[in-house]
């Protein structure tokens, strides 16, 4: 959804803060203080938003001081959707409503298809660190991936990541056959994952999943543990089956390209370095919170089991040729998707990943 100039101005007025929100990084005064806005559609407690505050905001001036730079950043923070909603995370940065923000690529399949590659290659990555490292390498080295960000007038600082998806159900899953005919709540991207197992995905956002499980709209949900625990999903779907689709990257921290170009070189350097620290901290937080979420759900009555490796392999092999379909879709747009898929999967392997399915070899 495009954000008009009127929307930009009304959004800034509604925030009722200093003019820095409107001017962002567009100018700085004689004291060399640079005004920047950092924003997100989600609250600061979310693992891919929190490092914007605890890393990029908290450490930027420390780093500038250590470099003996005369520049300092005066930050305006607008987290929790106070400036824009989840559907506008890219547009807000592109249009300069915020200078820096978290961009959720999963809501931008048309504009950021390359950043969503991991949804078409499930069971490829094995750790959160590996996932962000792989995507950051592609963002750095692949010309088409870099161009994707540039065409949207943003500079990507660092990829963000979530833990892998598991099944939370009202019934025990002793084998893959137990999923046949079941209705599983989740995001649209997970529909082809469940197709081969004989289950049907019912599209449902996080806020409604608890009630829809209660009322029988769904027999279970496919979800990340760090999202399930705060929502108490285990209360209505107490059987947790660890299928571990592998962690997924889905966007990252980024800056409006015009704002970035106006920054002095040392400020550009600091922000770029902190962007990688953002990725590392996001990955660390996911690891810590995943363990805590699983421990808490077990302590509160959840029955946790691991899907056997044989069933995991059967599960992934029953999926459509997602990698091939992703390549075909994107090649129609003139994107060298075959080469990107090959580079992505080879980078995963080079980083120690052991994909359960060689998506690139089906193309």
The whole-number pLDDT of residue 31 equals 59
Q: Is the pLDDT of residue 360 over 70?
A: yes
- Express each pLDDT in 23-68 by its tens digit: 344 444 445 899 999 999 989 989 999 999 999 999 999 999 999 9
Q: How confident is the model at residue 189 (pLDDT cuts 50, 70, 90)?
A: confident
The span from the CA of 356 to the CA of 224, in Å, is: 19
Any idea which fold 165-243 has? D-Maltodextrin-Binding Protein; domain 2 (3.40.190)
The whole-number pLDDT of residue 187 equals 87
The whole-number pLDDT of residue 2 equals 46
From residue 344, alpha-carbon distances to 147, 192, 252, 354, 355 in Å are 16, 21, 17, 13, 12
Q: Do domains 5-161+248-289 and 165-243 have the same CATH topology?
A: yes
The whole-number pLDDT of residue 86 equals 85
Q: How confident is the model at residue 19 (pLDDT cuts 50, 70, 90)?
A: very low
Q: Which regions of 215-312 does DSSP assign to beta strands (E)?
A: 220-224, 239-242, 248-256, 303-306
Quote the percentage of the chain above a pLDDT of 90: 85
Quote the percentage of the chain above a pLDDT of 70: 91
- Average the pLDDT over 2-17 and give the result: 41
Are 132 and 283 in contact, with CB atoms under 8 Å apart?
yes
The whole-number pLDDT of residue 8 equals 44
Question: What residue segments make up the domains of the chain, in order of their start?
Answer: 5-161+248-289, 165-243
Q: Is the pLDDT of residue 120 over 80?
A: yes
Are 319 and 356 in contact, with CB atoms under 8 Å apart?
no
Any idea which fold 5-161+248-289 has? D-Maltodextrin-Binding Protein; domain 2 (3.40.190)
Q: Which residue stretches of 152-246 are H helix? A: 191-195, 206-214, 225-231
Q: Is the pLDDT of residue 178 over 50?
A: yes
Tokens of 316: 């992934």
Tokens of 249: 């990257």
Burial tier of 354 (Cβ tally within 10 Å: 0-12, 13-18, 19+): exposed
Q: Is the pLDDT of residue 7 over 50?
A: no
């Amino acid at each position: 959804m495009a954000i008009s100039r009127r929307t930009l101005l009304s959004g800034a007025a509604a925030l009722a803060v200093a003019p820095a929100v409107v001017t962002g990084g567009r100018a700085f005064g004689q004291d060399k203080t640079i005004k920047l806005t950092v924003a997100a559609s989600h609250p600061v407690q979310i693992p891919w938003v929190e490092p914007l505050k605890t890393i990029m905001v908290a450490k930027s001036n420390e780093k500038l001081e250590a470099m003996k730079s005369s520049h300092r950043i005066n930050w305006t923070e607008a987290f929790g959707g106070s400036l824009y909603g989840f559907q506008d995370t890219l547009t807000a940065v592109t249009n300069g409503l915020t200078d820096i923000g978290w961009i959720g690529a999963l809501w931008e399949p048309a504009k950021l298809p390359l950043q969503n590659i991991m949804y078409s290659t499930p069971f490829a990555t094995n750790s959160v660190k590996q996932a962000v490292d792989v995507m950051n390498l592609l963002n750095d080295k692949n010309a088409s991936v870099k161009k994707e960000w540039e065409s949207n007038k943003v500079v990507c600082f660092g990829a963000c990541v979530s833990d892998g998806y598991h099944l939370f159900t009202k019934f025990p899953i002793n084998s893959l056959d137990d999923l046949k005919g079941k209705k599983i709540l989740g995001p649209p991207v997970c529909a082809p994952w469940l197709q081969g197992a004989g289950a049907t995905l019912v599209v449902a956002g996080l806020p409604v999943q608890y009630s829809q499980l209660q009322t029988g709209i769904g027999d279970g949900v496919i979800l990340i543990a760090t999202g399930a625990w705060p929502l108490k999903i285990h209360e209505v779907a107490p059987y947790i089956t660890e299928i571990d689709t592998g962690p997924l990257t889905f966007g990252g921290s980024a800056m409006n390209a015009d704002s970035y170009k106006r920054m002095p070189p040392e400020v550009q350097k600091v922000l770029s370095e902190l962007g990688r620290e953002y990725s590392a901290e996001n990955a660390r937080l996911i690891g810590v919170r995943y363990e805590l979420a699983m421990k808490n759900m077990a302590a509160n009555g959840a029955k946790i089991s691991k899907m056997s490796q044989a069933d995991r392999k059967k599960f992934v092999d029953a999926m459509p040729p997602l990698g091939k379909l992703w390549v075909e879709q994107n090649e129609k747009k003139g994107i060298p998707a075959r080469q990107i898929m090959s580079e992505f999967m080879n980078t995963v392997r080079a980083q120690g990943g052991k994909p359960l399915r060689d998506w690139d070899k089906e193309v």
